[in-house]
Chain A
Amino acid sequence: MPREGFERQLQQLQNKVLFMGSMVEKAITRSIESMKSRNLEAARQLIADDLEINQIRYEIEDDAIQLIATQQPMAADLRTIIAVLNIITDLERMGDHAEGIAKITLMLGDEPPLKPFIDIPRMADRTKHMLRRSLSAFITRDTTLARQICTEDDEVDNLHEQVYRELLVFMLQDVKTISRATYLIWASHNLERMADRVTNICERVVFMVEGKVEEMNVSKY
């Protein structure tokens, strides 16, 4: 197959990663919205839709393997494909975390909310912002941006800690809130893990461009 064909296929592979990234981004939004509005139907739908994210992950994986097998790429091209394979794993796990939040929504059911949702949606917004830009860094091979995004993970960690402490106070004051507060801590933890996954993506971007593996931000959790 001519070289031009390979370039196009590699481009298509990266386009699919962006497509999957957008699916995950929307899944995070929907998970938080279903939790905020206690919309159990939306939460169930989100859990069902996670299959689509898994499907596209396997589709991209197949394409990548086929590309390696038929084109035997070298150096930067090979690193790109390896990065793609790793990024889709991270994205798929992020999708699972969003699904996890939807499951927590189901567990919370129609119990009254403990407090207005402020920090958890904020964590979700930060994470989505990081995710979107990490994939931009992937497309534009921007390692400076990738490194900068990694430092932003601390903000999400801090928010998680804040949510954790706040909910701890609730639990200490009133034992009846323990189950609800625990669920919310799980949701917050899911978001914190998602942000960590974004730093993984950024590490892969650096690997893809510079050819070296670098641990860029060690999360507190």
Chain B
Amino acid sequence: MFPGRSAIKWRITFSYVILLVASLVCFLLFRDSLSALFIVSGITVLLIFLLSLYLSSNIAKPLRGLGLKCRDMARGKLELEEESSSLCEINDLLQDFAYMTSSAKQRFEAFLNERRQWIGIVDQMEDGVIISSEEREVQFMNSAAAKILQVSRRESLGHPLVEVVRDYEIVEAVYRCLKTGEQQSKMVRAEGSSLSLRMTAMPLQVPQRPGALVVIQDITELNRVAKSRQEFVSNISHELRTPLASIKAAIETLEDGGIEDKMAAHLFLGKAGVEVDKMTQLIQQLGEIFRIESGSVAFKIELQNIVPLIEEVSQELQIQADRAGLEITVNISTGPLLVLADRNRIKEAIANLLHNSIKFTPPGGNIEISAWQEDSFVAISVADTGIGIPAEDIPHIFERFYKVDKSRSGEGMGLGLSITKHIVLAHGGDIRVESEEGKGATFTIILPGDREG
């Protein structure tokens, strides 16, 4: 009836004009016949009715559809089909609506992307981040927090903070922060994981969602490094002070007239000399470890049989072992074991291991040195029946100045194993340790052998 698109008001006006003209013509034609006039009026009324029905359905249907789309949008469905109408105004409205939907969708997606990005950043942080609501429930948790607290993130969200964190010291600080609105900081030792944590709870500055932002840092490693440095300083001062005191005592004796007695003078000078040697050795050892660590030591690598070297070391340390009431056995079943190594350095490495075994094995114990071929490598192990190493100390024993039993400060500086490890690594080898506390320890050095076979 109306091809193409046209405005509603013109359609209505046009329809009514046609109707009016048609009615007028009919009235003029049939004005003599009353019944015909009734018929014409009836037809007119019918036409008006049909016209209204057509227009209303054309307007109302798209409007109704629009209403449904609004509801869908409110529910978060932004993927909507585009529709069109033959009515100009309705068509414009539909297009405007489509434009609005697509721009809302773009903005929403931009917002979501930005949100994902922020969550991603917070999630990649090394520090644990938790957001607690005012009702003391976990609203957000990043993966670092889940890892530190050993909980599942999915099972934590929406749960009470105390149920997730299970550490009253942390929880108490968060409660206090929520209550007073003041920042709280604390050092905490976590149960179970034994991690040292530093936590800070600060009030969340979001007006609609008051709560607390909790940041948890794992400072276990930091603490340990600081402690080992502190121990190093105290060890080194102790190690230097002891010989210095002896030297001082010798000098004082000489000053008090001892110098007159030739025999005594000789004795005390000799003692002072020994102490000076001790200090020199200590400083040499320290210098050596720094040099090996920095890679500035040249190694004289040669292909050689390790068996005589092992026998030599064990013989040299036999006296010390006898004094400690220990037995050293060398257990090498097969013939020559060829390794690519610097003779003196490797000897030092094995001697260090033996030395430790002698130090940490109670009298009556056994030390066994074995060596065997492992593919193109040669393994040398030193096993003792000593006090062993606690599992928690094993990862750290190769660190400089690390000592399992801090109270045994008089016995070495904790440098031997560190030197050994650096020597072995510089050879392209490796060092392993197995130990059970109270039952002994086994150190195994792996060295590259004769690759030709």
B437 cross-chain contacts in A, Cβ below 8 A = 116, 118
B368 within 8 A of A: no
Establish whether residues B191 and A11, one from each chain, have CB atoms under 8 Å apart when the complex forms: no
A23 cross-chain contacts in B, Cβ below 8 A = 168
A186 within 8 A of B: no
Within 8 A of A (CB), among B173-191: 189, 191
A22 within 8 A of B: yes
Residue with the highest number of chain B CB atoms closer than 10 Å, among A20, A26, A118, A129: A26
B136, B160, B167, B387: the one contacting A22 at CB < 8 Å is B167
Establish whether residues A26 and B191, one from each chain, have CB atoms under 8 Å apart when the complex forms: yes
A25 cross-chain contacts in B, Cβ below 8 A = 191
B162 cross-chain contacts in A, Cβ below 8 A = 15, 18-19, 22
B192 cross-chain contacts in A, Cβ below 8 A = 128-129, 132
Residue with the highest number of chain A CB atoms closer than 10 Å, among B162, B167, B438: B162
Establish whether residues A139 and B191, one from each chain, have CB atoms under 8 Å apart when the complex forms: no
Establish whether residues B136 and A26, one from each chain, have CB atoms under 8 Å apart when the complex forms: no
The answer to whether residues A139 and B163 also contact, given A116-B438, A132-B191 and a CB cut-off of 8 A, is: yes
Within 8 A of B (CB), among A108-142: 116, 118, 128-129, 132, 139
In whole angstroms, what is the CA distance A23 to B168 when docked? 6
Establish whether residues A15 and B160, one from each chain, have CB atoms under 8 Å apart when the complex forms: yes
A20 cross-chain contacts in B, Cβ below 8 A = 168
In whole angstroms, what is the CA distance A20 to B438 when docked? 36
In whole angstroms, what is the CA distance A8 to B167 when docked? 21
B288 within 8 A of A: no
B169 within 8 A of A: yes
Establish whether residues B169 and A26, one from each chain, have CB atoms under 8 Å apart when the complex forms: yes
B324 within 8 A of A: no
In whole angstroms, what is the CA distance A25 to B194 when docked? 12
Establish whether residues B168 and A19, one from each chain, have CB atoms under 8 Å apart when the complex forms: yes
The closest CB in chain A to the CB of B406 belongs to: A37
Establish whether residues A22 and B168, one from each chain, have CB atoms under 8 Å apart when the complex forms: yes
1/0 per residue, CB under 8 A from B, across A16-32: the answer is 00111111011001000
The answer to whether residues A29 and B191 also contact, given A18-B162, A19-B168 and a CB cut-off of 8 A, is: yes
In whole angstroms, what is the CA distance A99 to B437 when docked? 28
B136, B160, B166, B171: the one contacting A132 at CB < 8 Å is B166
In whole angstroms, what is the CA distance A200 to B438 when docked? 34
In whole angstroms, what is the CA distance A15 to B437 when docked? 39
The closest CB in chain A to the CB of B159 belongs to: A139
A139 cross-chain contacts in B, Cβ below 8 A = 163
Establish whether residues B166 and A22, one from each chain, have CB atoms under 8 Å apart when the complex forms: yes
In whole angstroms, what is the CA distance A113 to B253 when docked? 39
**Is the contact region of chain A dominated by helix, strand, or loop, or is it mixed?**
helix
In whole angstroms, what is the CA distance A207 to B127 when docked? 41
A129 cross-chain contacts in B, Cβ below 8 A = 192
The answer to whether residues A116 and B387 also contact, given A26-B169, A132-B192 and a CB cut-off of 8 A, is: yes
Establish whether residues A118 and B438, one from each chain, have CB atoms under 8 Å apart when the complex forms: yes
B168 cross-chain contacts in A, Cβ below 8 A = 19-20, 22-23, 26
In whole angstroms, what is the CA distance A1 to B438 when docked? 62
B172 cross-chain contacts in A, Cβ below 8 A = 19
In whole angstroms, what is the CA distance A132 to B164 when docked? 12
In whole angstroms, what is the CA distance A129 to B136 when docked? 25
The closest CB in chain A to the CB of B188 belongs to: A26
Establish whether residues B191 and A18, one from each chain, have CB atoms under 8 Å apart when the complex forms: no
Q: How far is the CB of A175 from chain B (nearest CB, A)?
A: 22
B166, B169, B189, B438: the one contacting A18 at CB < 8 Å is B166
Q: How far is the CB of B179 from chain A (nearest CB, A)?
A: 14
In whole angstroms, what is the CA distance A20 to B172 when docked? 11
In whole angstroms, what is the CA distance A132 to B193 when docked? 13
In whole angstroms, what is the CA distance A23 to B387 when docked? 34
Q: How far is the CB of B437 from chain A (nearest CB, A)?
A: 6
1/0 per residue, CB under 8 A from A, across B426-448: the answer is 00000000000110000000000
A132 cross-chain contacts in B, Cβ below 8 A = 166, 191-192
In whole angstroms, what is the CA distance A29 to B387 when docked? 24
Seen from chain B, the residues whose Cβ lies within 8 Å of a Cβ on chain A are 136, 160, 162-163, 166-169, 171-172, 189, 191-192, 387, 437-438
* Known interface pairs A22-B169, A26-B189, A132-B166; 13 further A-B residue pairs with C-beta atoms within 8 A, sorted by A's residue number: A18-B162, A19-B162, A20-B168, A21-B166, A22-B167, A25-B191, A26-B167, A26-B168, A29-B191, A116-B387, A116-B437, A128-B191, A132-B191
22 contacts between A and B (CB under 8 A): A11-B160, A15-B136, A15-B160, A15-B162, A15-B163, A18-B162, A18-B163, A18-B166, A20-B168, A22-B162, A22-B191, A23-B168, A26-B167, A29-B189, A29-B191, A116-B437, A118-B437, A128-B191, A128-B192, A129-B192, A132-B192, A139-B163
Minimum-distance CB pairs A-B, first 5: A22-B168, A18-B162, A15-B162, A15-B160, A19-B168
